[in-house]
Copies of this chain bind each other. A is one copy, B any other.
Amino acid sequence: MMISLPYLLRKENICHISDGSVHIGDRRVFPFEKRFEACSSVEEVSTALKSMVTQGGGPLQVAFTTLRFIADGMLQHRYAYSFAELTRQVGLLISARPTNTTMRRVMLALLDDLSPFCTQDTPVEDFVRHLNLLVDTQEMAYDDLYHHMGRIGSTLLEDADVILTTCFAEHTFLLSLAYAKEQGKNISVLVNETRPYLQGARLTYPSLVEMGIDAHIITDGMGAHYLSEGKITKYMTASDLVCLDGTVVNKVGSLSNAVACKYYGVPYYAFSISPDPTKRTSSDIPMEERDGQEVLHCLGRATTSEGRALYPSFDCIEPSLVQGIVTPKGVLAPSEIARSFT
């Protein structure tokens, strides 16, 4: 049986090119609207990424599509044809989201692989063919990885599990649930709404409903309540970044649940394609402090009279709170990450 992805994870809905623009699925307005943000330049793509039009695994898919857009632009003479120009454009993408480093690593590796094919003598057509081939290959590799990790994740799931999750854990988590369902396991999910952007309520919950998986939304403070009542069997999230020491960096609010899981003896698993080899511990991480004003709004409406708020984007979850990290190499203990990936 073919596993079918929910709307939000289908490639064309994350990002596609049409009418000479990069169209990014706007996750800020889903599920109320199925709108796309049209970007006619790499600068606009970068701004869209900064504005959280998409998040999680979205930026990587956007970067793949944007590389195709640049390649096409070089053929059409909209972009100057040089490796330096390509590097500058890629830099705009990378700088948009400093904490989520998967996209950066993939982009830099791609530039590295490409550089031999861009000497002064290489015709633009050859260069573009190589670039597109590399993008296609990487994109397919990621599709395979997602399914591979979904199958690994599904082995952790047991019939009658009740999974707590925060934010939108995307392909790897949702595919784990899909494969578990295919295996006849009956899983239900409690979804933190994930303030301030409500990714849990708006993205994860509708995707689970679409996939036919039993789910309820809870507020971000309710995880400990259900953990204390013994009603949650596992906590699972994506990770924006994993350090070599097994520290998991993920959406703020994840630490609160991970600590409560530790206290009540419930395992916490994070999904990660790879640790970031340049980050040994949490002290190596440049944390994104976002504008506190975002915390003072919900769906565009002010939640109080004018005020002051704080918005640290991410939590660092220390390795002792993490039962396992679901990677392409299997489910690893945090202490196994460094030697498995270096």
Contact = CB atoms under 8 A, between A and B. Distances in A.
- For the complex formed by this chain, how many copies does it contain in all? 2
Contacts of A95: none
Contacts of A110: none
Given A298-B299, A307-B209, A312 B224 contact: no
Interface stretch (A114-122, A178-186, A214-222, A327-335): A214-222
A253 interface: yes
- Chain A interface extent, by class: 35 or more
A304 B201 contact: yes
Contact of A304 (B198, B220, B305): B198
A113 B305 CA distance: 44
A339 interface: no
B305 A31 contact: yes
A225 B315 contact: yes
Given A201-B296, A228-B316, A32 B305 contact: yes
Contacts of A196: 219
Interface in A284-342: 292, 295-296, 298-299, 301-305, 307-312, 315-316, 318
A301 B303 contact: no
Contacts of A308: 215-217
A303 B192 CA distance: 12
B305 A256 contact: no
A256 B263 CA distance: 10
Contact of A216 (B220, B222, B225, B292): B292
Interface in A229-277: 252-257, 259-260, 262-263
A42 interface: no
A146 interface: no
21 contacts: A166-B221, A192-B221, A196-B219, A198-B303, A217-B304, A217-B310, A219-B252, A219-B253, A219-B295, A220-B253, A222-B256, A222-B312, A224-B255, A224-B259, A228-B255, A256-B256, A259-B263, A260-B260, A262-B263, A298-B298, A298-B301
The 6 closest A-B pairs by CB, nearest first: A221-B253, A220-B221, A224-B256, A217-B309, A195-B219, A298-B298
Interface of A: 31-32, 166, 190, 192-196, 198, 201-202, 205-206, 209, 215-226, 228, 252-257, 259-260, 262-263, 292, 295-296, 298-299, 301-305, 307-312, 315-316, 318
